[in-house]
């Protein structure tokens, strides 16, 4: 155990403290119940596991008193569990005391970084006494003083008060030194410093944009200035990315509270619910982690309280008795999506309308007019209490309106889907970060405005003829039919009262920016559409803050100021009438089938061949100057957002002919496989939703997913991944080289242990994917989402599928995948059981070097270890 002291890194310690306090809370409530009678085996297992984890982690962190006390408590618990000691109420009273003392110790560690002077010996003695007749139990005398200070007090050289004071001084002097030792590969940085850094990098990005712009237009600039400028450009982008990364935190910070909460809510409601959590490691800006915490918890409380039915009700309806609550986080198109899905009773639009009417949220006329989909939106109205009766779970007078307000304030959106009898899905879409956002610049009159990318759905251009025919005027409301849906149009110039705005483009066409406001959409007609730019949002002050059409302002690359449009405010100002959208909503009402539909980007490539790729794989559409495309080592590349992006041309390998002519500007579909790859296309035609019908697809062309008919034309579905692999092998090569690190899946239900070990493994050159339970690990491995995994390191004691079960399952399904058990147990029975379950070896958690040795052989059996395990 030598050298452990220096490894007490602050992060692991913080996690341990948090986890322990949580566990102690849990133990306390269970013990309180148990004092009245006895403890159910499942509860006993929970307490045992918690104490076991505390013991193990404290040993790991060299917290000797906590370790000692929890060790004895564990022994007692083991005896109670195995019934070798008949349980009596006073056992639980003792364990409650253990909980209290552990909490004191943990609190002390939290505040002072040490366990303090709390005496655990008497309690340990009591526990040992309770364990039964020890061979030579001596009445516990106070041990003779062994510490210098105590001796001095004993000899009455100093008073206990003087001793205490002296010790405190000593501690104060030692503390910083100890901490300095603990600093290894991580350091703690005050969030205020990070915030300042983020602000500064924001300014730097602006200055960079300005400089790049100036050099671009300046006639005097020579190759040297351009080169220096380019370097500055790249470094700034990199710096920005890295600094933003420092603020990223896994959503686990929020999610880890969910299982506990669901369990507690199950207890208080009498419902049975299993929480399924996915995407724990999805990262999001720290500020946003805080911003989503309350909304997520609120939505879960709602789902538990109103969504999922009581077991008997579910049984009567033929549903599984145990309800399902799935919480998933994922990255999608530059946003983090958090999806909370329950399989409860869903929301009935009729009941919602009746309720809203009763609460005076809507008028009877409104109630008659609302479509079912719009009715779902009622839950977001202020004053709409969702609770039939006020419960202590969610009927606290705050409703979904507060959730929406919070989420939108942080730049996010809330979406709601519900099917009566089937369940409800609520989606939070959050930006990755707050400070810098991508935005589209549009122009109206002489002025440019920025529209945040998150608000954008698509850009539509109508040529002169379409402008005449495809824009209709319905009793004063201007609309355009976009793929069968009615899109209300707003002229930005009119809304803002810009008299110098054009009514039509000089070529007679119309630029429409389709934007989303919640589940509604409308088209903003602007004079011109410029580039996208990364912008830093600056707030407006004074009276300007009250203008609902703007969410802020920003400095553009050329130094000009542009206002950032708030699309919801613009809609309000324009007085968009919801009723004109009803047709659109009704058309989308029967959306059940929508999940089986997939959106495709349809485009022309090569010599006009109609092709399509799933929208989901397209990160962006870009247009670059053909002159900017360079050829490096036989591969076309372009500088894109501070990196070199390879460009592939589908016609190079597919029988679709060469483009008739070369244009000055090249359209690119940008894919993101961790690294971006651009695909050169000739013309973007449309985005269409196509029913996922495998029979409608004929597949006889290699490197494609087949052909299908879209909009009456035969369309080639390209297999993007295969194309990239074929046409940009360097790129794939590079990925492979980057992948030579072994990938370990680490399974442990203790967040602190996961953090400690994954940090350690990463530092030693491994990639680590972690899972907080056997179930999650197994699901991830089956789904293959984490990519190739070279070895699994698993804890043994876990709730749900434990380590033994996991290893047995893996032995059956993936016999080639080495599994390593790691545990605090040194009990030979446990070791044997682990080996029997398929572990290549069983390693003590404290002995990480041994784990390294085992992994060195790519997880192949380390004979020595197994032998020693068998011998034991």
Partner 1 sequence: MNAIVESGGSGKWLTFWLAGEMFGVRVEDIQEVLMQQPLTPVPLAADHIVGLLNLRGQIMQAINLRRRLHFPLREDDGPSSLMVIKQQEHFISLVVDDIGDVLELPAESWRLPPDTLASQHRSFVFGICPIDDHVVLGLRVDSLSGESDRAAQKES
Are the CB atoms for 201 and 240 separated by under 8 Å? yes
Q: Which CB, 206 or 690, lies closer to partner 1? A: 206
Q: How far is the CB of 531 from partner 1 (least distance, A)?
A: 18
Report if residue 560 touches partner 1, rule: CB under 8 A. yes
Residues β-bridged to residue 425? 341, 417
Report if residue 213 touches partner 1, rule: CB under 8 A. no
Report if residue 528 touches partner 1, rule: CB under 8 A. no
Point out which span in 7-15, 315-323, 550-558, 749-757 binds partner 1 (CB under 8 A). 550-558
Which listed residue (43, 194, 207, 420) binds partner 1 by CB under 8 A? 207
Q: Is the dihedral of CA 728, 729, 732, 737 positive or negative?
A: negative
Q: Which CB, 201 or 637, lies closer to partner 1? A: 201
Site residues for partner 1, window 443-482 (CB under 8 A)? Answer: 447
Q: How far is the CB of 543 from partner 1 (least distance, A)?
A: 5
Q: Which CB, 524 or 670, lies closer to partner 1? A: 524
Pattern 147-186, partner 1, x by CB under 8 A: ----------------------------------------
Q: How far is the CB of 303 from partner 1 (least distance, A)?
A: 39
Which listed residue (203, 290, 465, 665) binds partner 1 by CB under 8 A? 203
Which listed residue (95, 109, 130, 206) binds partner 1 by CB under 8 A? 206
| 3-state helix vs strand vs coil in the chain, percent to 5 | 45, 25, 30
Q: Sheet holding 485-491: strands in order across?
A: 456-462, 510-517, 520-526, 485-491, 477-482, 471-474
Q: Which CB, 197 or 687, lies closer to partner 1? A: 197
Q: Which CB, 426 or 563, lies closer to partner 1? A: 563
- Nearest-angstrom CA–CA distance, 172 and 166: 10
Tell which residue, 89, 60, 58, has the closest CA to residue 72.
58
Are the CB atoms for 467 and 413 separated by under 8 Å? no
Which listed residue (487, 555, 645, 708) binds partner 1 by CB under 8 A? 555
781 Cβ contact list (under 8 Å, min separation 6): 745, 789, 792, 810, 814, 817
Which listed residue (86, 135, 176, 542) binds partner 1 by CB under 8 A? 542
Which listed residue (515, 553, 647, 648) binds partner 1 by CB under 8 A? 553
User: Rounded to whole angstroms, what are the CA distances from 412 to 81, 241, 291, 659?
Assistant: 48, 21, 10, 41
Q: Which CB, 78 or 211, lies closer to partner 1? A: 211
Number of residues engaging partner 1 in binding (CB under 8 A): 27
Q: Which pair of structure tokens corresponds to residue 514?
A: 């389709």
Report if residue 559 touches partner 1, rule: CB under 8 A. yes
- Nearest-angstrom CA–CA distance, 452 and 570: 13
Q: How far is the CB of 218 from partner 1 (least distance, A)?
A: 18
Report if residue 243 touches partner 1, rule: CB under 8 A. no
Residues β-bridged to residue 792? 745, 819
Point out which span in 38-46, 103-111, 417-425, 554-562 binds partner 1 (CB under 8 A). 554-562
Report if residue 826 touches partner 1, rule: CB under 8 A. no
Q: Which CB, 402 or 498, lies closer to partner 1? A: 498
Tell which residue, 553, 486, 535, has the closest CA to residue 514.
486
Report if residue 496 touches partner 1, rule: CB under 8 A. yes
Point out which span in 251-259, 377-385, 538-546, 665-673 binds partner 1 (CB under 8 A). 538-546
Q: Which CB, 407 or 562, lies closer to partner 1? A: 562
Report if residue 126 touches partner 1, rule: CB under 8 A. no
Q: Which CB, 160 or 559, lies closer to partner 1? A: 559
Point out which span in 352-360, 372-380, 548-556, 799-807 binds partner 1 (CB under 8 A). 548-556
Pattern 397-436, partner 1, x by CB under 8 A: ----------------------------------------
Are the CB atoms for 463 and 481 separated by under 8 Å? no
- Nearest-angstrom CA–CA distance, 206 and 641: 14
Point out which span in 6-14, 335-343, 397-405, 556-564 binds partner 1 (CB under 8 A). 556-564
Are the CB atoms for 63 and 101 separated by under 8 Å? no
User: Rounded to whole angstroms, what are the CA distances from 660 to 360, 462, 609?
Assistant: 64, 24, 12
Q: How far is the CB of 371 from partner 1 (least distance, A)?
A: 29
Tell which residue, 452, 426, 415, 457, has the closest CA to residue 437.
452
Which listed residue (172, 183, 561, 836) binds partner 1 by CB under 8 A? 561
Tell which residue, 813, 871, 798, 802, has the closest CA to residue 841.
871
Report if residue 498 touches partner 1, rule: CB under 8 A. yes
Q: How far is the CB of 516 from partner 1 (least distance, A)?
A: 22
Q: Which CB, 451 or 747, lies closer to partner 1? A: 451
Residue 135: how many CB atoms within 10 A of its CB? 4
Tell which residue, 104, 101, 94, 81, has the closest CA to residue 128.
94
Pattern 564-583, partner 1, x by CB under 8 A: ---------x----------
Judged by DSSP in three states, 767 sits in strand
DSSP structure string for 340-382: EEE-S----HHHHHHHHHHTTSS-HHHHHH--HHHHHGGGGST
Point out which span in 355-363, 492-500, 612-620, 763-771 binds partner 1 (CB under 8 A). 492-500
Q: Which CB, 36 or 541, lies closer to partner 1? A: 541
Which listed residue (36, 358, 506, 541) binds partner 1 by CB under 8 A? 541
Point out which span in 18-26, 396-404, 557-565, 693-701 binds partner 1 (CB under 8 A). 557-565
DSSP structure string for 196-223: HHHHHHHHHHHHHHHHHHHHHH-SS--H
Q: How far is the CB of 447 from partner 1 (least distance, A)?
A: 7
Q: Which CB, 573 or 762, lies closer to partner 1? A: 573
Q: How far is the CB of 351 from partner 1 (least distance, A)?
A: 36
- Alpha helices per DSSP H over 115-190: 121-130, 148-154, 160-182
Report if residue 211 touches partner 1, rule: CB under 8 A. no
Q: Which CB, 196 or 785, lies closer to partner 1? A: 196
Phi-psi region for residue 345, left (φ > 0), alpha (ψ -120 to 50) or beta? alpha
Write phi, then psi, for 404 (nearest 5 degrees): -60, -45
Report if residue 538 touches partner 1, rule: CB under 8 A. yes
Give me the helix-helix angle, 774-783 and 803-813, nearest 10°: 20
Which listed residue (157, 544, 587, 632) binds partner 1 by CB under 8 A? 544
Point out which span in 202-210, 318-326, 338-346, 578-586 binds partner 1 (CB under 8 A). 202-210
Tell which residue, 300, 298, 279, has the closest CA to residue 405.
298
Point out which span in 3-11, 415-423, 494-502, 597-605 binds partner 1 (CB under 8 A). 494-502
Q: Which CB, 106 or 565, lies closer to partner 1? A: 565
- CB burial readout 275-291, b (16+ within 10 A) else e: bebbbbbbbbbbbbbeb
Q: Which CB, 384 or 449, lies closer to partner 1? A: 449
Pairing status of strand 273-278 against strand 618-625: unpaired
CA 538-542-547 angle, 5° bins: 75
Residues that bind partner 1 (CB under 8 A): 203, 206-207, 447, 496-498, 538, 540-544, 546-550, 553-555, 559-563, 573
């Amino acid at each position: 155990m030598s050298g452990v002291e220096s490894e007490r890194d602050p992060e692991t310690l913080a996690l341990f403290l948090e986890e322990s306090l949580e566990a102690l809370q849990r133990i306390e409530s269970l013990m309180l119940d148990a004092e009245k009678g006895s403890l159910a085996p499942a509860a006993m297992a929970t307490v045992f596991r918690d104490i076991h984890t505390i013991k193990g982690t404290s040993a790991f962190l060299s917290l000797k008193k906590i370790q000692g006390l929890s060790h004895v408590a564990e022994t007692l618990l083991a005896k109670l569990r195995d019934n070798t000691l008949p349980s009596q109420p006073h056992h639980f009273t003792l364990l409650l005391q253990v909980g209290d003392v552990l909490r004191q110790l943990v609190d002390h560690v939290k505040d002072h970084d040490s366990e303090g002077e709390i005496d655990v010996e008497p309690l340990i003695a009591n526990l040992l006494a309770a364990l039964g007749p020890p061979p030579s139990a001596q009445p516990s005398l106070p041990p003779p003083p062994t510490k210098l200070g105590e001796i001095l007090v004993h000899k009455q050289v100093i008073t206990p008060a003087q001793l205490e004071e002296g010790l405190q001084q000593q501690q104060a002097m030692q503390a910083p030194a100890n901490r300095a030792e603990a600093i290894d590969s991580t350091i703690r940085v005050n969030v205020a410093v990070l915030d300042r850094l983020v602000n500064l990098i924001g300014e730097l990005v602006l200055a960079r944009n300005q400089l790049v712009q100036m050099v671009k237009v300046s006639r005097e600039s020579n190759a040297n200035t351009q080169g220096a400028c380019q370097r500055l450009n790249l470094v700034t982008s990199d710096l920005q990315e890295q600094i933003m990364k420092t603020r990223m935190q896994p959503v686990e910070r929020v999610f880890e509270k969910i299982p506990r909460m669901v369990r507690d809510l199950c207890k208080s409601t009498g419902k049975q619910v299993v929480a399924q959590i996915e995407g724990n490691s999805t990262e999001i800006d720290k500020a946003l982690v805080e911003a989503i915490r309350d909304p997520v918890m609120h939505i879960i409380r709602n789902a538990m309280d109103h969504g999922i039915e009581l077991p008997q009700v579910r049984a009567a309806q033929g549903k599984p008795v145990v309800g399902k609550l799935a919480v998933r986080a994922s990255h999608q198109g530059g946003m983090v999506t958090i999806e909370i899905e329950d399989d409860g009773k869903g929301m009935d639009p009729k009941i919602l309308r009746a309720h809203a009417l009763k609460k005076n949220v809507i008028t009877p006329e409104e109630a008659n007019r609302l479509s079912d989909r719009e009715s779902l939106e009622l839950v977001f109205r202020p004053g709409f209490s969702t609770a039939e009766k006020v419960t202590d779970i969610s009927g606290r007078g705050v409703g979904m309106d507060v959730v929406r307000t919070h989420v939108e304030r942080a730049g996010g959106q809330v979406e709601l889907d519900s099917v009566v009898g089937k369940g409800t899905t609520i989606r939070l879409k959050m930006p990755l970060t707050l400070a810098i956002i991508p935005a589209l610049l549009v122009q109206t009159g002489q002025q440019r405005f920025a529209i945040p990318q998150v608000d954008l759905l698509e850009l539509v251009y109508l040529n002169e003829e379409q402008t005449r025919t495809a824009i209709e005027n319905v009793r004063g409301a201007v609309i355009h039919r976009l793929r069968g849906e009615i899109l209300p149009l707003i002229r930005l110039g009119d809304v803002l009262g810009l008299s110098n705005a054009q009514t039509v483009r000089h070529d007679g066409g119309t630029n429409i920016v389709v934007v989303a406001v919640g589940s509604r959409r409308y088209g903003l007609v602007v004079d011109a559409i410029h580039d996208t730019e990364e912008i830093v949002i600056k707030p407006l002050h004074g009276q300007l803050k009250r203008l609902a059409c703007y969410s802020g302002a920003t400095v553009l690359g050329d130094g000009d100021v542009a206002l950032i449009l708030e699309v919801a405010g613009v809609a309000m100002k324009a007085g968009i009438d919801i009723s004109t959208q009803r047709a659109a909503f009704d058309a989308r009402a029967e959306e059940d089938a929508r999940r089986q539909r997939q959106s495709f980007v349809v485009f022309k490539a090569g010599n006009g061949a109609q092709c399509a790729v799933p929208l989901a794989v397209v990160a962006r559409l870009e247009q670059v100057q053909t002159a900017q495309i360079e050829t490096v080592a036989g591969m076309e590349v372009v500088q894109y957002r501070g990196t070199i992006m390879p460009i592939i041309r589908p016609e190079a390998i597919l029988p679709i002919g060469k483009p008739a002519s070369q244009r000055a500007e090249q359209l690119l579909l940008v894919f993101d496989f961790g690294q971006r790859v651009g695909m050169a296309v000739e013309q973007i035609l449309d985005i269409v939703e196509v029913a996922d019908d495998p029979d409608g697809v004929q597949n006889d062309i290699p490197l494609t997913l087949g052909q299908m008919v879209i909009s009456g034309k035969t369309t080639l579905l390209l297999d993007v991944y295969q194309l990239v692999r074929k046409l940009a092998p360097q790129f794939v090569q590079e990925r492979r080289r980057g992948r030579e690190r072994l990938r370990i899946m680490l399974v442990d239900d203790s967040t602190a242990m996961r953090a400690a070990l994954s940090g350690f493994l990463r530092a030693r050159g491994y990639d680590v994917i972690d899972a907080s339970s056997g179930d999650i690990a197994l699901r991830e491995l089956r789904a293959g989402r984490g990519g190739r995994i070279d070895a699994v390191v698993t804890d043994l004691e876990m709730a749900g599928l434990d380590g033994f079960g996991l290893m047995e399952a893996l032995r059956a399904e993936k016999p080639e995948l080495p599994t390593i058990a790691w545990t605090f147990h040194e009990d030979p029975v446990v070791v044997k059981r682990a080996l029997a379950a398929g572990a290549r070896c069983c390693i003590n958690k404290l002995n990480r070097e041994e784990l390294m040795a085992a992994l060195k052989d790519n997880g192949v059996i380390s004979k020595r270890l197994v032998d020693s395990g068998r011998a034991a």
